[in-house]
């Protein structure tokens, strides 16, 4: 009976220490890159472009599993022989980890973000600038290398619009991101 009681106390203490360890993580910094295929425009002006982007985010843990995020990113694209675009992305959102994280765990997550866009497009006719917004939803998994560091794989879908030279352009995109997150 005494050994069962000691075992129960040990298990409870271990549980409390794991929760305290998770609670100690109050922030995270992530960097992720992706290769994406984006369909833009409507009707005869519809085209597909391949893009490479880089997004960094700073997150704050509100609970051991819920993280509020601020993201900054750049997306560079080229299509055709003399056409390119660059988009600056500023976003706010949240990420939810579906379980507490420990070294060696693969932890699934999901989230969403609202982004503001600053767009610059270059064609043979010149460069035009514009702005817009999009909403991004994502799912993925973090492979925890340690209690605080992980390699992340994320699938994201974005939809929005931006205006360039008084023309509104609707966009949708999907991307597979690979990145690294450090918690502190």
Per-residue pLDDT reduced to its tens digit, 132-164? 999 999 999 999 999 999 999 999 999 999 999
**Residue range 91-110: mean pLDDT, rounded:** 96
Q: Looking at the predicted structure, is the pLDDT value of residue 8 above 60?
A: no
**Residue range 52-78: mean pLDDT, rounded:** 95
pLDDT the model gives residue 140:
98
Enumerate residues 6+ apart whose C-beta is below 8 A from 35: 50, 51, 52, 175, 176
Q: Looking at the predicted structure, is the pLDDT value of residue 101 above 70?
A: yes
Which of 17-21, 29-33, 68-72 shows the lowest per-residue confidence on average (mean pLDDT)?
17-21
Q: Looking at the predicted structure, is the pLDDT value of residue 3 above 80?
A: no
Q: Looking at the predicted structure, is the pLDDT value of residue 10 above 90?
A: no
Q: Looking at the predicted structure, is the pLDDT value of residue 36 above 80?
A: no
106-108-112-118 Cα dihedral, nearest 10 degrees: 30
Q: Looking at the predicted structure, is the pLDDT value of residue 65 above 70?
A: yes
pLDDT the model gives residue 17:
38
Q: Tell me if 162 sits within 8 A of 156, measured CB to CB.
A: no
Q: Tell me if 57 sits within 8 A of 30, measured CB to CB.
A: yes
Q: Looking at the predicted structure, is the pLDDT value of residue 173 above 70?
A: yes
Does 85 or 181 have the greater pLDDT score?
Answer: 181
Question: What backbone phi and psi angles, to 5 degrees, belong to 165?
Answer: 50, 45
User: Residue 139's closest CA among 180, 174, 91?
Assistant: 174
Pairing label, strands 66-79, 149-164: unpaired
Share of the chain above pLDDT 90, in %: 64
């Amino acid at each position: 009976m005494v050994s069962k009681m000691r075992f129960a106390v040990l298990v409870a203490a271990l549980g409390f220490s794991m929760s305290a360890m998770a609670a100690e993580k109050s922030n995270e910094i992530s960097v992720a890159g992706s290769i994406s295929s984006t369909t833009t425009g409507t009707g005869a002006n519809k085209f597909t472009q391949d893009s490479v982007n880089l997004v960094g985010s700073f997150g704050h843990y509100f609970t051991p599993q819920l993280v509020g995020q601020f993201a900054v990113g750049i997306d560079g694209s080229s299509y055709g022989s003399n056409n390119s675009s660059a988009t600056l992305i500023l976003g706010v959102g949240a990420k939810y980890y579906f379980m507490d994280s420990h070294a060696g765990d693969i932890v699934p997550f999901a989230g969403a973000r609202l982004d503001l866009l600053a767009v610059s497009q270059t064609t043979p006719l010149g460069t035009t600038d514009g702005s817009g917004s999009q909403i991004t939803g994502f799912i993925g998994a973090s492979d925890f290398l340690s209690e605080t560091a992980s390699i992340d794989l994320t699938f994201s879908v974005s939809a929005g619009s931006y205006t360039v030279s008084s023309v509104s352009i609707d966009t949708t995109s999907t991307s597979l991101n690979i990145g690294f997150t450090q918690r502190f």
